[in-house]
């Protein structure tokens, strides 16, 4: 148990049988009345964000989250296989548990998988991932408008917009936050 006065960003708590991480908090002491703590909480299972207010000094249960660095091995159908690099234990995860993160997974990519009481609740990808362009149209000569972009299909099957100078079989760096092109690899 932890007091609402001791909240910090990134801390995980249990509230209404759900696991939340504290995105931001603000301790408020109005002129009249008791102090309170206004928080923005992110549900670790669903990804939704809520705002909640706690009275100052209220005890809240902390959630013990385990993070394990694992390596993505391969996917077979809708089943994704990961290996713990310390003890070589392998786990299988269904595509539905991974959500949109599945489109960023390529072989040998290291990810952090978070567990709560033995149950997988989330996957944390690196901020940027390097991928190979499998197919893209050649640049059209004379198309030199500002920020001209074209479609490119990456090795995971994901399609993104890249600048005209990117060719097939080249590496690109993409952001996992928004799935956009960052730079040439």
Q: How confident is the model at residue 143 (pLDDT cuts 50, 70, 90)?
A: low
Residue closest to 42 by CA, chosen among 6, 5, 15: 15
Residues 112 and 138 in one domain: no
Cβ neighbours around 148 below 10 Å, total: 13
Residues 69 and 120 in one domain: yes
pTM value surpassing 0.85:
no
146 near 104, Cβ under 8 Å?
Answer: no
Residue 117 backbone zone (phi > 0: left; psi -120 to 50: alpha; other: beta): left
Position 174 scores a pLDDT of 92
Domain finish residue from 76, 91, 124: 124
Predicted confidence (pLDDT) per residue in 2-16, tens digit: 888 889 988 899 988
Residues 15 and 28 in one domain: yes
Domain count, the chain: 3
Q: Which two tokens stand for residue 140?
A: 């059209």
| CATH number, domain with residue 46 | 2.30.30.30
Q: Give the span between the Cα atoms of 87 and 71, in whole angstroms.
A: 12
Quote the percentage of the chain above a pLDDT of 90: 21
Residue 160 backbone zone (phi > 0: left; psi -120 to 50: alpha; other: beta): beta
Residues 25 and 41 in one domain: yes
Residues 86 and 138 in one domain: no
Predicted confidence (pLDDT) per residue in 89-140, tens digit: 888 888 888 878 888 888 899 998 888 888 888 788 888 999 999 998 887 6
Residue numbers of the domain that contains 36:
2-62
Domain finish residue from 108, 124, 140: 124
Domain finish residue from 37, 62, 87: 62
Position 125 scores a pLDDT of 87
182 near 175, Cβ under 8 Å?
Answer: yes
Residues in contact with 45: Cβ distance below 8 Å, sequence separation at least 6, in sequence order: 18, 19, 121, 122
| CATH number, domain with residue 180 | 2.40.50.140
Strands (E), 44-165: 49-55, 59-62, 65-76, 79-84, 90-94, 110-116, 119-124, 128-136, 149-154, 159-163
Predicted confidence (pLDDT) per residue in 52-83, tens digit: 999 988 999 998 888 889 999 998 888 889 99
Measured torsion, CA atoms of residues 50, 55, 56, 61, in degrees rounded to the nearest 10: -60
Measured torsion, CA atoms of residues 103, 105, 107, 109, in degrees rounded to the nearest 10: 160
């Amino acid at each position: 148990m932890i007091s609402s006065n001791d909240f910090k960003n990134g801390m995980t708590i249990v509230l209404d049988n759900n696991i939340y991480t504290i995105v931001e908090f603000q301790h408020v002491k109005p002129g009249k009345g008791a102090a309170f703590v206004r928080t923005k909480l992110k549900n670790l299972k669903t990804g939704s964000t809520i705002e909640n207010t706690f009275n100052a000094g209220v005890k809240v249960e902390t959630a013990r989250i385990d993070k394990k660095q694992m390596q993505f091995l391969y996917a077979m159908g809708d089943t994704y296989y990961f290996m713990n690099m310390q003890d070589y234990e392998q786990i299988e995860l269904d595509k539905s548990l991974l959500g949109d993160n599945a489109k960023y997974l390529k072989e040998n990519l290291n990810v952090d998988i978070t567990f709560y009481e033995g149950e997988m609740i989330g996957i944390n990808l690196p901020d940027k991932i390097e991928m190979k362009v499998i197919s893209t149209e050649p640049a059209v000569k004379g198309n030199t408008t500002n920020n001209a972009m074209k479609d490119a299909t990456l090795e995971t099957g994901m399609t993104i917009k890249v600048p005209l100078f990117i060719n097939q079989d080249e590496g690109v760096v993409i952001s996992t936050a928004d799935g956009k092109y960052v730079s040439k690899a």
